[in-house]
Amino acid sequence: MRPTTEDELAGIIRAATGPLRITGGGTRGLLGEGEPLETGGLTGIVLYEPAALTLVVRAGTPLAEVEAALAAEGQRLPFEPGDMGALLGRNGASTIGGVVATNASGPRRVQAGACRDALIGVRFVDGRGTLIRNGGRVMKNVTGYDLVKLLAGSRGSLGVLTEVAFKLQPIPPASATLILPGLSPARAVAAMSAALGSPYDVTGAAHLPGIGTLIRLEGLAASVGYRVGRLLVALAPYGQAVVERDADAAAALWRQVRDAAPFHGRAGDVWRISVRPSDGPEVAARLGGEVVMDWGGGLIWALYPAGMDARAPLAGIAGHATRVRGGSRDVPALPPEPAAVAALTAGLRAQFDPRAIFASGR
């Protein structure tokens, strides 16, 4: 089924007797049971005001199309969403609705916030077949409850997004990436913490096996030059950094971090683990295998033996671990929640999807 209007979509949901499986580009691993419900008929930019840094777009619009339209005006989505297709071995085209449904956020999340932070409005049809609007198209809005945040990362379990609105960012004229080679995970996190805790407005801090520890600066040209100089001094205890000033080369490195490129096409499950940055090295040590660290050590992508539970060795470390690739009947992909939180979550799902027709995303 491929509705082209919100009314049609609402009708399909109201008439549904069994589970529906919402699919955008099918690149983000939101699989499961049920009749496919494609969002690809709900496409197009509804409103783009570059001077107000705002974009309203229908949820089925391909991410690449959104990014191209923004780039034409020298702007971008602040949160640097990744492309999971290669990691998961899928070849669809990621949609903007899928980005929102998974709260997909890349390296710039440490400075510019996550997808949920840039998202300023949603329209969605819930499991009752009701169209619901929340937020809007302005950057500051505290009118009523923030269901916008609730929908970001809801993995299609509350309803089908039909339209999403973002605040945008101008693409800065200059950028530079410092690369510190050869650090252990613990030293890498210490270096990244020093950079992120400096006044130099770091927009990315990651550790890429075989390449090094990366620190990104963006802004006006003279300002980037100044901050590179200061950081070289501040990070001297961690070795002599190489400065990558070529924009394309640097962008390629950050894409590798963003998309967990070292694990593409390799055997094993892939886990995505969010912890406080100083716990990053301990996570890496306990998991034993290969890791990519982003968000200054707060986000760990780990390659782990197929079917094994990566949560077990991490017991006692606060945070959460999600399996993004691979499968196992015994180990759930999504982290279990404490009973009281799970009860609230279940309560919300029951309110928005009382017939559990979107249960496959859970």
Q: Cβ(59)–Cβ(163) under 8 Å?
A: yes
- In the bound state with another protein, the residue whose beta carbon lies nearer, of 40 and 280, is 280
Q: How far is the CB of 109 from another protein (least distance, A)?
A: 7
Q: Cβ(213)–Cβ(257) under 8 Å?
A: no
**Residue 62 binds to another protein (criterion: CB under 8 A):** no
| CA distance linking residue 266 with residue 221, whole number of Å | 39
**Residue 282 binds to another protein (criterion: CB under 8 A):** no
Q: How far is the CB of 355 from another protein (least distance, A)?
A: 15
- In the bound state with another protein, the residue whose beta carbon lies nearer, of 40 and 126, is 126
Q: With CA atoms as reference, report the closest residue to 109 among 181, 174, 204, 14.
A: 204
Q: How far is the CB of 91 from another protein (least distance, A)?
A: 27
Distance of alpha carbon 92 from the chain centroid: 17
28, 116, 207, 323: which one binds another protein (CB under 8 A):
116
Among positions 210-229, residues that touch another protein (CB under 8 A) are: 219-220, 222-223, 226-227
**Residue 199 binds to another protein (criterion: CB under 8 A):** yes
Q: With CA atoms as reference, report the closest residue to 18 among 362, 360, 361.
A: 360
Among positions 154-173, residues that touch another protein (CB under 8 A) are: 154, 157-158, 169-173
- In the bound state with another protein, the residue whose beta carbon lies nearer, of 233 and 318, is 318
- In the bound state with another protein, the residue whose beta carbon lies nearer, of 12 and 112, is 112
**Residue 361 binds to another protein (criterion: CB under 8 A):** no
| CA distance linking residue 41 with residue 36, whole number of Å | 13
User: What are residue 176's DSSP bridge partners?
Assistant: 217
User: What are residue 119's DSSP bridge partners?
Assistant: 166
**Residue 132 binds to another protein (criterion: CB under 8 A):** yes
Write the CB contacts of 103 (distance below 8 Å, at least 6 apart in sequence).
114, 115, 116, 152, 153
Q: How far is the CB of 292 from another protein (least distance, A)?
A: 16
